[in-house]
């Protein structure tokens, strides 16, 4: 049973400062592909991996390496923070409640070993894959950095960008804070906004980059990276724009988002694994510089389908926020998960509770979260294997009385990525949808021994493969 969230987690190791150090330190969970791989095969191969994967020999891009699948499961998420799997969620939840550590400005770093500006820039030299057949151009999924012009705080996210030309991209911002910042630039009479695309940083950066919640009046995501990594983060100035970027990054692409005209793109790959929205109108990006490491820099890809980092990454901080909120109401939280197999629309809450009433409160807390990905929320007990979809389904089938343990809330905000949600006419891609809460825990209203599972003798102690 997990301790209360107001008890500090155990001391942890300090994560590596660079991605290549991280991959070396965690080599036991990294798959390295040394055989030649064509760029069009990278996505299909990456998506078959459940652990970090590095392609060392890309046929069309011999000067680069490519990595993916850094945070798909709890094991690799825990490695990102330098903690055990059991301590991961509690540690992230604790660190997100700490003040921002900020970052340290330095003059230069490894990402400045190669500098290209002006006509020398062509970001299509990078190993940017197409993620699906319907992609109209290679699709960039890197972490990007913009800055609030009023507060100076750095905001980051992963805005998918089509690399449509040597120095041009079409970028899709989906986070509300990105739009707030762009509107601030417009209100100041600016027609463009500086942006930096950052490839190849330790995965803790990416976890923090996807934070969603009230924070813009106190800090930006980059100010909190050092907090969740428990180490100083070095930042270097860009070459052509007024931003700083991680000094230990593998590749940085600099540019400006043009804040005027928008352009149509279609068949977006949503985290729910559908082509939604079918079209959107997005601004373009003017690329002005590219800097990188000199020794075979590592391009960080985020394959968007089927179930990859694309599903859990934007929701890892959500899990930590829900951990804090459920602990505040008195639940003894073991884990919280937005599973990759839940279409980025489902959340599983795993906890114990002292008496009746807590489960529905916990379900309503999650269903009422500010995000649009809690359409289905399932509560399970600690004896259900949260990593096993079959075990969760078994709990839903055998521990739920639909007349008492399921409730539905109609007509709430829906995800634009949910094909079951109803489009709002004239306000596309916004939708409405109902939400469902399911109590699949052991029931206090019954004899608790009714829910004890039957297992063979020595189950989990002997393995079939040892006898083959």
Domains assigned to the chain: 101-299 (2.30.110.10), 329-445 (3.40.1670.10)
- Of the candidates 309, 92, 321, the one whose C-alpha atom is nearest the C-alpha of residue 213 is 321
Q: Residue range 69-89: average pLDDT? A: 96
**Mean pLDDT over each residue of the chain, to the nearest integer:** 94
Tokens 């599903």 belong to residue: 311
Average pLDDT over residues 255-280: 90
With left for phi above 0 and alpha for psi between -120 and 50, is residue 153 left, alpha or beta? beta
Contact 220, 155 (CB under 8 A): yes
Q: Among 43, 42, 44, 68, which Cα is nearest to 54's?
A: 68
Confidence of residue 209 (pLDDT cuts 50, 70, 90): very high
Distances (CA, A) of 1 to 77, 90, 135: 20, 12, 46
- Cα 332 from Cα 352, distance rounded (Å): 5
Does position 3 have pLDDT exceeding 60, yes or no?
Answer: no
Q: What is the DSSP string of 90-150?
A: HHHHHHTTSPP---EE-S--GGGSEEEEGGG--GGGS-----STT-SS-EE--EEEEE-TT
Which residue in this structure is represented by tokens 């590596």?
16
Please report the pLDDT score of residue 1 as a whole number.
43
**CA pair distance 249, 31, nearest whole angstrom:** 21
The whole-number average pLDDT for the span 446-460 is 90
Q: What DSSP character marks residue 259?
A: -
pLDDT over 80 (residue 28): yes
Residue range 241-253: mean pLDDT, rounded: 98
| C-beta of residue 29 within 8 angstroms of C-beta of residue 76 | yes
Report strand pairing: 251-258 vs 284-292.
Answer: antiparallel
Q: Which residues contact 63 (CB under 8 A, 6 or more apart)?
A: 296, 297
Would you say residue 127 has pLDDT above 60?
A: yes
pLDDT digits (tens, 9 = 90+) for 355-376: 999 999 999 999 999 999 999 9
- Residue 413 neighbours by CB under 8 Å, 6+ apart: 372, 430, 432, 433
pTM exceeds 0.75, yes or no: yes
CB 360 within 8 A of CB 435: no
Task: Report yes or no: 397 and 350 within 8 Å, Cβ to Cβ.
Answer: no
**pLDDT at residue 338, rounded to an integer:** 97
Contact status, residue 362 vs residue 331, Cβ threshold 8 Å: yes
Euclidean distance between CA atoms 458 and 466, whole angstroms: 14
Band the pLDDT of 215: cuts 50, 70, 90.
Answer: confident
440 three-state secondary structure: strand
The reported pLDDT for the residue numbered 2 is 47
Structure-block tokens of residue 365: 């807390």
CA distance 294 to 252: 13
When mean pLDDT is compared across 217-221, 268-272, 367-371, the lowest value belongs to 268-272
**Residue 4 reports pLDDT greater than 70:** no
Question: Predicted confidence band at 6 (pLDDT cuts at 50, 70, 90)?
Answer: low
For residue 438, pLDDT over 60 is answered with yes
Inform me whether the pLDDT recorded for 112 exceeds 90.
Answer: yes
Per-residue pLDDT at 5 exceeds 70: no
- pLDDT tens-digit profile of 296-315? 999 999 999 999 999 999 99
What are the pLDDT digits (tens) for 129-149? 999 988 989 999 999 999 999
């Amino acid at each position: 049973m997990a301790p209360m969230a107001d008890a500090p987690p155990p001391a942890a190791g300090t994560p590596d400062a660079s991605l290549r150090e991280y991959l070396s330190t965690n080599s036991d969970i990294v798959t390295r592909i040394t055989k030649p791989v064509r760029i069009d095969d990278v996505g299909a191969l990456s998506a078959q991996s459940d652990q970090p994967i590095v392609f060392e020999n890309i046929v069309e891009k011999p000067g680069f390496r490519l990595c993916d699948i850094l945070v798909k499961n709890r094991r690799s998420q825990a490695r990102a923070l330098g903690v055990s799997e059991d301590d991961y969620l509690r540690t992230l939840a604790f660190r997100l409640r700490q003040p921002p550590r900020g970052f340290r400005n330095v003059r230069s770093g490894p990402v400045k070993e190669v500098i290209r500006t002006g006509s020398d820039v062509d970001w299509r030299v990078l190993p940017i894959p197409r993620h699906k057949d319907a992609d109209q151009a290679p699709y960039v999924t890197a972490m990007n950095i913009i800055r609030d012009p009023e507060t100076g705080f750095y905001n980051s996210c992963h805005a998918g960008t089509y690399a449509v030309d040597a120095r041009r991209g079409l970028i899709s911002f989906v986070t509300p804070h990105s739009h707030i910042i762009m509107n601030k630039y417009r209100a100041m009479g600016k027609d463009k906004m500086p942006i930096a695309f950052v490839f190849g940083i330790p995965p803790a950066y990416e976890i923090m980059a996807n934070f969603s919640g009230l924070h813009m009046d106190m800090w930006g995501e980059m100010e909190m990276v050092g907090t969740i990594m428990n180490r100083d983060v070095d930042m270097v100035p860009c070459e052509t724009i007024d931003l700083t970027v991680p000094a230990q990054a593998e590749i940085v692409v600099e540019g400006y988002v043009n804040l005027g005209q928008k352009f149509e793109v279609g068949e977006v790959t949503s985290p729910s694994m559908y082509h939604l929205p079918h079209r959107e109108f997005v601004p373009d990006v003017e690329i002005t510089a590219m800097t990188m490491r000199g020794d075979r820099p590592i391009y960080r890809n985020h394959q968007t389908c089927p179930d990859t980092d694309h599903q859990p990454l934007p929701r890892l901080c959500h899990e930590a926020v829900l951990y804090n909120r459920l602990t505040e109401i008195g639940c003894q939280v073991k884990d919280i998960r937005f599973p990759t197999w839940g279409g980025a629309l489902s959340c599983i809450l795993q906890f114990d509770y002292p008496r009746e009433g807590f489960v529905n409160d916990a379900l309503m807390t999650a269903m009422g979260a500010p995000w649009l990905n809690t359409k289905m929320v399932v509560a399970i007990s600690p004896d259900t294997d949260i990593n096993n979809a079959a075990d969760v389904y078994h709990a839903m089938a055998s521990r739920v009385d639909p007349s008492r343990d399921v409730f539905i809330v109609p007509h709430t905000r829906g995800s634009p990525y949910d094909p079951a949600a109803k489009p709002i006419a004239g306000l596309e891609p916004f939708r409405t949808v109902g939400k469902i809460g399911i109590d699949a825990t052991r029931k206090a209203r019954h004899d608790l021994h009714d829910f004890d599972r039957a297992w063979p003798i020595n189950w989990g102690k002997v393995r079939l493969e040892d006898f083959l």
